[in-house]
Amino acid sequence: ASQGSESSRSSALQNAKTAVHGDLEKLRGYHDLAKDALERAYRRDMEGSRAEAMKLYRMGLSIIYEGLLITVQATGLGNAFNNVAAWRADMNKWQKNVLERIRELELASPTASGVRAPQNIVSQQSLPRSPRPQSRPAQPQSRGLGPGGAAAPAAGSTPASKEEERLRDVIEGEVLDRRPSVRWKDIAGLAGAKQALQEMVILPAQRADLFQGLRAPARGLLLYGPPGNGKTLLAKALASEARATFFNISASSLTSKWHGEAEKLVRMLFKLAAEMQPAIIFIDEIDSILSERSAGEHEASRRLKTQFLVEFDGVANGAERIVVIGATNRPQELDDAVRRRLVKRIYIPMPDPDTRRALLKHLLSGQPAKLSRADVERLVAATHNYSGSDLAALCREAAIIPIRELGPAVSSVPADKIRPMDAGDFETALQSIRPSVSPDQLARFAKWTAQYGTTS
Ligand code: ATP
Ligand code: MG
């Protein structure tokens, strides 16, 4: 009787946990990106553009490192589980090979020709190494000139200092975002914000000819609002919708790991953005990097801020097509000078009833749920002051209840015998998942908006 119970159990869990899917996609994304970078590296390597190749190998490597850190909840994923294993195995193999190749290239003097021919790390299966460069060119890829299409500066450009090279690597590896990402349609509601981003960022990047003079777009933009309502999501969607190079800065890439040289990184960042324009520089949690200056503040972070302001003024007054976008849920803590430069400030509010309905629909699509239209309406009404991420948590909680009530029997119940979640589950879930944003906080946002927000 237990035959097949393993697989039915796993599909039950798979249905119950939407979170699994997200991580899976992310892992696949990193896998594919690493592959892409390594294939490009191989081509450069074959052509003998060693510096370029090196950069791409390093980039591939950092993508792999990050990719291998992604955890996929692997409790009985069935088919998906095998994919996960295969992607991880690929990345592990590539990592080993890339490290080896990087070492080879590093050991060889820049002019020496005694380096072994490169191997295509992606397609190679521990083949015996050929002594001479193969003349067969790598498969050309049908790849649009999307973000990063022009990542490397032309070969033969002025030899950059070692320091500069290193900073470039950091930015290309950690900051330049080529992730296949969220699309507009994945974001519920927020029509106003989408419209504003369309006008300020997407169209100007596509039609620079139209957006000049009086129509010149704002160069600085702030997305602010209570946590969990899609600020980061919007920026990610922007990265895939705008045909612009997308630099994604987080507090960690600038401060903790690179503190002391963060300001150099900022300089290099704007320089690269100018080389790869049109470009978007997105700074998430901008308050933590560019907060109000205080007396006891660290010297390094003061320098970072100053450098940022200098670079930003260069952008605001220059002809480069660069937009700086910040996101924060603590706009009050933003440095005055920074706030002034982010001239358009768009409030990302708590979801209104229509948005909540759309979000619930999105979250429940494809899930076994028995909810009447009236149930959904009651739920929409009951979730006043729930943020987008609160709603997601609510649905996850409701989804797990039918599984939880099975107790130990869960291991032998066929997937189709698990009852769909119903209105009662949501009633229960509403008790444990409470709104995470207080009315107090909302009042503070309203006040800030009245004082500094852009209304248009
Ligand atoms: P924070 O200020 O804490 O950084 P945020 O505004 O950046 O929050 P996100 O990370 O963008 O919030 O959203 C959190 C999660 O909530 C998303 O991953 C998504 O699952 C869900 N979510 C929030 N708003 C929306 C929306 N409008 N459409 C779809 N999903 C949403
Ligand atoms: Mg965020």
Is the C-beta atom of 187 inside 6 A of ligand 1? yes
User: Mean pLDDT, to the nearest integer, of 383-408?
Assistant: 89
Structure tokens at 97: 């090979």
More confident residue, 256 or 310: 310
* pLDDT score recorded for residue 36: 86
* 45: Cα separation from own chain's centroid: 29
Range among 8-12, 13-17, 156-160, 197-201 rated most confident: 197-201
SS (H, E, C) the chain: CCCCHHHHHHHHHHHHCCHHHHHHHHHHHHHHHHHHHHHHHHHHHHHCCHHHHHHHHHHHHHHHHHHHHCCCCCCCCCHHHHHHHHHHHHHHHHHHHHHHHHHHHHHCCCCCCCCCCCCCCCCCCCCCCCCCCCCCCCCCCCCCCCCCCCCCCCCCCCCCCHHHHHHHHHHHHHHECCCCCCCHHHCCCCHHHHHHHHHHHHHHHHCCCCCCHHHCCCCEEEEECCCCCCHHHHHHHHHHHCCCEEEEECHHHHHHCCCCCHHHHHHHHHHHHHHCCCEEEEECCHHHHCECCCCCCCHHHHHHHHHHHHHHHHHHHCCCCEEEEEEECCHHHECHHHHHHCCEEEECCCCCHHHHHHHHHHHHCCCCEECCHHHHHHHHHHCCCCCHHHHHHHHHHHHHHHHHCCHHHHHCCCHHHCCCEEHHHHHHHHHHCCCCCCHHHHHHHHHHHHHHCCCC
Residue 4 pLDDT exceeds 50: no
Pairing of strands 344-347, 322-328: unpaired
Q: C-alpha dihedral over 205, 210, 212, 216, to 10 degrees? A: -50
Give tens-digit pLDDT for 81-117: 667 778 888 888 888 888 888 888 887 766 556 677 7
Report whether 383 contacts 405 (CB < 8 A). Answer: no
At residue 329 the predicted structure's pLDDT band, cuts being 50, 70 and 90, is very high
At residue 262 the predicted structure's pLDDT band, cuts being 50, 70 and 90, is confident
How many angstroms separate the alpha carbon of residue 138 from the centre of ligand 2? 39
Is the C-beta atom of 217 inside 6 A of ligand 1? no
Pairing of strands 322-328, 220-224: parallel
Closest ligand to C-alpha of residue 182 is 1
How many angstroms separate the alpha carbon of residue 17 from the centre of ligand 1? 18
Percent of the chain with pLDDT over 90: 17
* pLDDT score recorded for residue 259: 53
Q: For residues 94 and 31, give the distance between their C-alpha atoms in angstroms, rounded to a whole number.
A: 10
User: Mean pLDDT, to the nearest integer, of 414-441?
Assistant: 88
Residue 158 pLDDT exceeds 70: no
Is the C-beta atom of 389 inside 6 A of ligand 1? yes
- Return all residues near 199 (Cβ < 8 A) that are at least 6 apart: 217
At residue 137 the predicted structure's pLDDT band, cuts being 50, 70 and 90, is very low
More confident residue, 300 or 398: 398
Range among 60-74, 223-237, 273-287 rated most confident: 223-237
Between 258-267, 308-317, 382-391, 411-420, the lowest mean confidence (pLDDT) is in 258-267
Is the C-beta atom of 265 inside 6 A of ligand 1? no
Is the C-beta atom of 193 inside 6 A of ligand 1? no
Residue 344 pLDDT exceeds 50: yes
* pLDDT score recorded for residue 12: 44
Residue 252 pLDDT exceeds 50: yes
Closest ligand to C-alpha of residue 389 is 1
Is the C-beta atom of 228 inside 6 A of ligand 1? yes
Q: For residues 437 and 350, give the distance between their C-alpha atoms in angstroms, rounded to a whole number.
A: 9
Nearest-atom number in ligand 1 for the CA of 388 is 23
SS (H, E, C) 306-323: HHHHHHHHHHHHCCCCEE
At residue 149 the predicted structure's pLDDT band, cuts being 50, 70 and 90, is very low
* pLDDT score recorded for residue 92: 86
Residue 387 pLDDT exceeds 90: yes
Using the structure block, give the residue that is written with the tokens 């948590």.
393
Give tens-digit pLDDT for 217-246: 888 999 999 999 999 889 888 877 887 788
Give tens-digit pLDDT for 187-198: 888 988 898 888
* pLDDT score recorded for residue 446: 92
Of 33, 50, 344, the residue nearest 192 (C-alpha): 344
Between 22-31, 104-113, 373-382, 414-423, the lowest mean confidence (pLDDT) is in 104-113
Residue 384 pLDDT exceeds 60: yes
More confident residue, 57 or 251: 57
pTM of the model: 0.64
Report whether 322 contacts 218 (CB < 8 A). Answer: no
Residues, CB-to-ion distance under 5 Å, ligand 2? 231-232
Between 30-39, 82-91, 134-143, 169-178, the lowest mean confidence (pLDDT) is in 134-143
Structure tokens at 286: 């901008």
Report whether 284 contacts 222 (CB < 8 A). Answer: no
Structure tokens at 133: 């460069």
Establish whether this prediction's ipTM goes over 0.90. Answer: yes
* pLDDT score recorded for residue 248: 84
Report whether 104 contacts 41 (CB < 8 A). Answer: no
How many angstroms separate the alpha carbon of residue 169 from the centre of ligand 1? 30
At residue 326 the predicted structure's pLDDT band, cuts being 50, 70 and 90, is very high
Nearest-atom number in ligand 1 for the CA of 285 is 4
Going by alpha carbons, the residue nearest to atom 14 of ligand 1 is: 228
Going by alpha carbons, the residue nearest to atom 15 of ligand 1 is: 389
How many angstroms separate the alpha carbon of residue 280 from the centre of ligand 1? 20
* pLDDT score recorded for residue 419: 85
* pLDDT score recorded for residue 271: 87
Is the C-beta atom of 232 inside 6 A of ligand 1? yes
How many angstroms separate the alpha carbon of residue 225 from the centre of ligand 2? 10
Is the C-beta atom of 359 inside 6 A of ligand 1? yes
Is the C-beta atom of 189 inside 6 A of ligand 1? yes
Going by alpha carbons, the residue nearest to atom 2 of ligand 1 is: 227
Of 414, 398, 375, the residue nearest 16 (C-alpha): 398
Closest ligand to C-alpha of residue 348 is 1
Q: For residues 28 and 31, give the distance between their C-alpha atoms in angstroms, rounded to a whole number.
A: 5
* pLDDT score recorded for residue 258: 56
Residue 323 pLDDT exceeds 80: yes
How many angstroms separate the alpha carbon of residue 387 from the centre of ligand 1? 8
Nearest-atom number in ligand 1 for the CA of 223 is 6
- Amino acid, single-letter form, for residue 77: L
Mutation pick for ligand 1 pocket among 197, 233, 238, 250 (CB with most ligand atoms within 8 Å): 233
Is the C-beta atom of 392 inside 6 A of ligand 1? yes
Is the C-beta atom of 331 inside 6 A of ligand 1? no
Is the C-beta atom of 329 inside 6 A of ligand 1? yes
Mutation pick for ligand 1 pocket among 25, 185, 194, 232 (CB with most ligand atoms within 8 Å): 232
What are the backbone angles phi and psi of residue 369, rounded to the nearest 5°? -140, 140
Closest ligand to C-alpha of residue 356 is 1
* pLDDT score recorded for residue 115: 73
More confident residue, 282 or 180: 282
Of 114, 112, 106, 124, the residue nearest 169 (C-alpha): 106
- Return all residues near 22 (Cβ < 8 A) that are at least 6 apart: none
Between 89-93, 294-298, 321-325, 342-346, the lowest mean confidence (pLDDT) is in 294-298
* pLDDT score recorded for residue 15: 42
